[in-house]
Chain A
Amino acid sequence: EVQLVESGGALVQPGGSLRLSCAASGFTFNIFSMNWVRQAPGKGLEWISYITGSSSAIYYTDSVKGRFTISRDNAKNSLYLDMNSLRVEDTAVYYCARVALAGRGYFDLWGRGTLVTVSS
């Protein structure tokens, strides 16, 4: 089955760290660019990071630059998000999302998300 499954979400204190994982299955992971998108409780979608299949290009939204790091291990069919210096405003469901091939650019496959709660 073609799917993405996020894990690693937890309750963490402000200033803490967390690593999210996204396990891909059912497709050739290394040819797809990937993203992390988050959704704060009751709020809209916010794109936060992108990585190409070879990790040759990486982008972040300003609010997480210097605190979050996206990476991938193609041998393990896995995408990661290392989150440091967490803030209350980072509380959200974090989704990984695949970018469609053929230059279409849209996110054609999403996981179900993992909840990160930053609170003291």
Chain B
Amino acid sequence: DIVMTQSPLFLSVTPGQPASISCKSSQSLLHSDGKTYLYWYLQRPGQSPQVLIYEVSSRLPGVSDRFSGSGSGTDFTLKISRVEAGDVGIYYCLQGINFPRTFGQGTKVEIK
């Protein structure tokens, strides 16, 4: 199974400041079709998860451009350029190249 390791597990950020979350996979997520199957989700308090980013760096429609994804192979990063109050929650990475699908442990983001 592919192990997804996120860091840090907790972030306390001042509004307007940037934030960065790392996600490392135990195997490359680059498929033979040329796509890299790494996704980012946000689970706001009391809500179901929602997808923010697919294939490393593609934002879903409606997702703020303050969110950006980058990386390749086994190392990935989610960046929030200027954190806002509505960004609080737990961020998860998910790999979609192999079964079983596996999530990172989650990174809890709070506002200072």
Contact = CB atoms under 8 A, between A and B. Distances in A.
Contacts of A108: 51, 60
- Counting chain B residues whose Cβ lies within 8 A of the other chain, the interface size class is 20 to 34
Given A105-B37, A106-B39, A112-B48, A44 B105 contact: yes
Contacts, number: 58
B96 A46 contact: no
A100 B48 contact: no
A34 to B, nearest CB: 13
B102 to A, nearest CB: 7
Nearest to A99: B96
B48 A59 contact: no
B49 A61 contact: no
Nearest to A107: B51
Contacts of B99: 50, 59
Contacts of A35: 101
A103 to B, nearest CB: 8
Interface size class of A (residues with CB under 8 A): 20 to 34
Interface string B85-105: 000001010101001111111
Central interface residue in B50, B51, B101, B103, by most chain A CB within 10 Å: B101
Nearest to B92: A45
Contact of B92 (A44, A100, A111): A44
Q: Which of A35, A50, A110, A112 has the most CB of B within 10 A?
A: A110
Residue from B1, B33, B103 with most neighbouring chain A CB atoms (10 Å): B103
Interface of A: 35, 37, 44-47, 50, 59-62, 95, 100, 103-108, 110-113
Interface of B: 1, 33, 35, 37, 39, 41, 43, 48-51, 54-55, 60, 90, 92, 94, 96, 99-106
